[in-house]
Structure 1
């Protein structure tokens, strides 16, 4: 059964929009809780308005207090920007506040926005190493009953037992992001599920097939393979309206404006400093309408989701509010999706239709 979630990734085009967008984002979280969305994912981006609430750990506390049943995930916490002990403490607290509703999505940090590293005084070329060391520290901090001693490249630590202890045992659910096929295969070898960034449908099919094959080749049994596939997620931008024409009218301008806003600060930094983290010779799937955006009537969107379902992945991370899209439009899109698209994927629906 394909599962659905909402990536709450709200853009504030100007600083004057910040307060309004943050308030609207909290209301969107409440709506998702009421409509039965399984997971609400939070992003982390700094300085550019691409993610209005900026700090997902702080915002997560407000969301958990305002909701009752929805799970809360990070897609992702930019681990390389954080002290791992502080981040482990914050996640343990959130795990207690949500009574086990937390999914700790971990990633190295942005692969595109050098200014996010510069703003925190971190060399972006150290991001992967910092992430790997920090993840190890966090897992040990959550599970050690006697504290830990760690001497690594980036941190030298000697600490008592972490408090508060985790609500979930042995620690909150952890999910790693992978933006490359090699990263996905590395997680397959470890028997771990993953979050995939926006890819074309064909690339999604291919990567998931190779991921599944690598799980088997690494000696994992069918139960582990099934669990890893069921707990893995892919990301798409989604707009639902009553008709295909109305969805197209709303979705494409919002998507294109969002991509332009996300490029703006990168291009400014490149013009001023000559630094570009990733040199892309062709437009990647994440910026192409045909690959990154699913839009249309409920029937059209359901058909597109069925294509993803056939890849065998467990769930779709749907970003509904795109760029400058008005709050009311995004909320209606979520309602239509949860009342007229998601029910098509409930257990037994296909058998009943036959």
Structure 2
């Protein structure tokens, strides 16, 4: 979810976001998640699946994930069918990342502002997974679900109509849900449904660690054992060849994309009444939450050895997990941005692996 500053052309920021994924592919990054918003000038990818489709034939190994598809904003049959086509086009490199669609201005533009988007999300998930698991003419009609699905009145198998596409990956692609709230109850449902959690990069470690027990509970509810390899945690990371450069670009420079990102996030969360995401304890006064404090707490920066050390300490604090998700930001300095990703892949990860992570 890179936050691009106003003033850059849309084509330029889209080109830069594509370059980041292409670089990640060449460096051996495991997957790339792309977000979507309709009405945000800073987060300006409107359809993550459409954006990712432009990368299929220029990438070779990286898995391509929606990060996320906002399920309240389109009919679940469209999500199921378009995702299935993408899965085939990408030769099974597709991951479906899902969320309700939290941006209220998107909801207002679509006439959904007064709808229960969390309920729509849950209903949509049921329909999508049922479409992939069912055969035509379909009889998908859950109690109180607004999206019943059938082709019984129009199916003609001789003509090949009335049949929704299946995914290449069977029984379905991996489904990943982003987790933002501390102690999120949604993680319990993820465990019950065998969806995989991705904890947000703007959460303090003490809130990140609350996600895993709930996932374990969800798995236990269906007599399964939770696998830490299925847990992704996003972090905001800057790796540089020297500590001074890292400090300047990540924290001190007024033009730092990290400073811009967290300034935007703080402003948004204050407006939404969700400032607790940045608090060290839930009763911390609002005026104690400062941009400087957030930057110091949440931006992992330094030389490769230092970053590896910080990430290993983070892992020690929150517990075992499967994947560090490197948060994307605007490339204010393309050289430093590219170098950071390079050092992350070629220096930091090997050091972590050597330490047993």
CA, structure 1 residues 303+174, in 2 after alignment: closer, same or farther (shift >3 Å)? same
- Cα deviation for residue 50 of structure 1 reads 2.6
CA, structure 1 residues 149+263, in 2 after alignment: closer, same or farther (shift >3 Å)? farther
What is residue 319 of structure 1 aligned with on the other side? 327
Selected match of 2:214 from 211, 214, 220: 211
- Cα deviation for residue 36 of structure 1 reads 0.4
How far, CA to CA, are the matches of 1:60 and 1:162 in structure 2? 25
Q: Determine if the alignment matches structure 1 residue 14 to structure 2 residue 6.
A: yes
How far, CA to CA, are the matches of 2:114 and 2:180 in structure 1? 16
Q: Determine if the alignment matches structure 1 residue 259 to structure 2 residue 262.
A: yes
CA, structure 1 residues 122+136, in 2 after alignment: closer, same or farther (shift >3 Å)? same
How far, CA to CA, are the matches of 1:233 and 1:142 in structure 2? 25
Q: Secondary structure at the match of 1:158?
A: coil
What is residue 79 of structure 2 aligned with on the other side? 87
CA, structure 1 residues 279+57, in 2 after alignment: closer, same or farther (shift >3 Å)? same
How far, CA to CA, are the matches of 1:293 and 1:307 in structure 2? 14
Q: Secondary structure at the match of 2:172?
A: coil
Contact in 2 for aligned 1:320/1:334 (Cα 8 Å): no
How far, CA to CA, are the matches of 1:215 and 1:163 in structure 2? 30
How far, CA to CA, are the matches of 2:226 and 2:342 in structure 1? 33
Instruction: Normalising by structure 1, report the TM-score.
Output: 0.82
CA, structure 1 residues 158+234, in 2 after alignment: closer, same or farther (shift >3 Å)? same
CA, structure 1 residues 298+119, in 2 after alignment: closer, same or farther (shift >3 Å)? same
Q: Determine if the alignment matches structure 1 residue 220 to structure 2 residue 214.
A: no
CA, structure 1 residues 63+77, in 2 after alignment: closer, same or farther (shift >3 Å)? same
- Cα deviation for residue 156 of structure 1 reads 4.1
What is residue 305 of structure 2 aligned with on the other side? 299
Structure (1 or 2) with the greater helix fraction: 1
CA, structure 1 residues 281+338, in 2 after alignment: closer, same or farther (shift >3 Å)? closer
Selected match of 1:55 from 47, 50, 66: 47
Q: Give the aligned CA root-mean-square deviation in angstroms.
A: 2.7
- Cα deviation for residue 55 of structure 1 reads 1.2
- Cα deviation for residue 46 of structure 1 reads 2.3
Q: Determine if the alignment matches structure 1 residue 122 to structure 2 residue 126.
A: no
Mapping of residues 18-29 of structure 1, within 5 Å? 18-29=10-21
How far, CA to CA, are the matches of 2:54 and 2:106 in structure 1? 24
Q: Determine if the alignment matches structure 1 residue 75 to structure 2 residue 67.
A: yes
Q: Secondary structure at the match of 1:104?
A: strand
Deviations 1:63-82 (A, max 9, x none): 11210111111221111112
What is residue 242 of structure 2 aligned with on the other side? 243
| Structure 1 stretches lacking a partner, 5+ long | 1-8, 271-275
How far, CA to CA, are the matches of 1:303 and 1:330 in structure 2? 20
Contact in 2 for aligned 1:13/1:324 (Cα 8 Å): no
Q: Secondary structure at the match of 1:25?
A: helix
Give the number of the structure with larger relative contact order, counting CA–CA contacts within 8 Å between residues 6 or more apart: 1
What is residue 196 of structure 1 aligned with on the other side? 199
Q: Secondary structure at the match of 2:326?
A: strand
Selected match of 2:94 from 72, 92, 102: 102
How far, CA to CA, are the matches of 1:177 and 1:240 in structure 2? 25
Contact in 2 for aligned 1:108/1:130 (Cα 8 Å): yes
How far, CA to CA, are the matches of 1:187 and 1:133 in structure 2? 14
How far, CA to CA, are the matches of 2:208 and 2:40 in structure 1? 29
Deviations 1:306-338 (A, max 9, x none): 1233311111111142x4633332111101111
Q: Determine if the alignment matches structure 1 residue 39 to structure 2 residue 31.
A: yes
What is residue 124 of structure 2 aligned with on the other side? 134
Contact in 1 for aligned 2:179/2:199 (Cα 8 Å): yes
Instruction: Normalising by structure 2, report the TM-score.
Output: 0.82
What is residue 329 of structure 1 aligned with on the other side? 336
| Structure 2 stretches lacking a partner, 5+ long | 156-161, 280-288
How far, CA to CA, are the matches of 1:119 and 1:262 in structure 2? 22
- Cα deviation for residue 256 of structure 1 reads 2.3
How far, CA to CA, are the matches of 1:72 and 1:55 in structure 2? 13
How many residue pairs get matched? 324
How far, CA to CA, are the matches of 2:44 and 2:29 in structure 1? 21
